Structure 1
Amino acid sequence: MKAEESLDFTGKKVMTVVTHEGSGMGSCERDLKRMLKGAFFGKGLAVYGAEAANLEGLAAEWAKRSVL
């Protein structure tokens, strides 16, 4: 059994954070929506991998704006 099959995401808010080298979110959110049935997806954050070391401030601001 896959982990996502044993967990109930109904009504949970999922905030996707990914690093990339030009593809942005790619298919990440689409794939997660397919796997995590019933979850609510807020606006995700995609960061260039080369900028990941400087992510802390950006992520904090994104999280503050993303709170329900």
Structure 2
Amino acid sequence: MITGCELFRINTVKKYPDDYTEATKVAQQELRDNARPKLSEYLDNIDDYEIIILCYPNWWGTMPMPVFTFLEKYDFTEKTILPVCTHEGSGLGHSESDIRKTCPSARLEKGLAVKGSNVYSAQPEIEKWLQKFINNFKRRK
């Protein structure tokens, strides 16, 4: 892991289909329904974290609905969120503005969009993006 930070996976109680096409249909229906799927686990205490690197795939122009469930569960006041998404051509979509609306008291940093087909070779790009954030963060302190 590049950061050495603690990892928390946002998993749902109800599993998504293994079949890609079926999973995209479920995701699209959840978006239409503005669903908030129940998560299988939650963080014990968001206060333990100052910076959250929020990683997710871009599903239909934004974050998967379970990510909304996660974000709505906690108070992100005085927290910094760094969004990172995978995509196949739509970049971050409107996920940054959705994060801003969902967590208005958080500091939202400029996100990074990694094309899904480039994930396995993206480490230099991710490290450069993280270093830029770290340098800016140190200047603010």
| TM-score normalised by length of structure 2 | 0.44
- The residue number in structure 2 matching 1:12 is 79
**What whole-Å deviation, never above 9, does each CA across 1:15-62 have from its counterpart, x for those lacking one?**
100011111110111111111130011111011111011122211111
Larger Rg: 2
Q: Which structure's relative contact order is higher, taking Cα pairs within 8 Å and 6+ residues apart?
A: 1
- The residue number in structure 2 matching 1:46 is 113
* CA RMSD between the two structures: 1.6
Q: Which runs of 4+ in 1 moved over 3 A?
A: none
Count of aligned pairs = 68
Which of 1-10 and 26-35 deviates more? 1-10
Unaligned runs of 5+ in 1: none
Unaligned runs of 5+ in 2: 1-35, 37-68
| TM-score normalised by length of structure 1 | 0.85
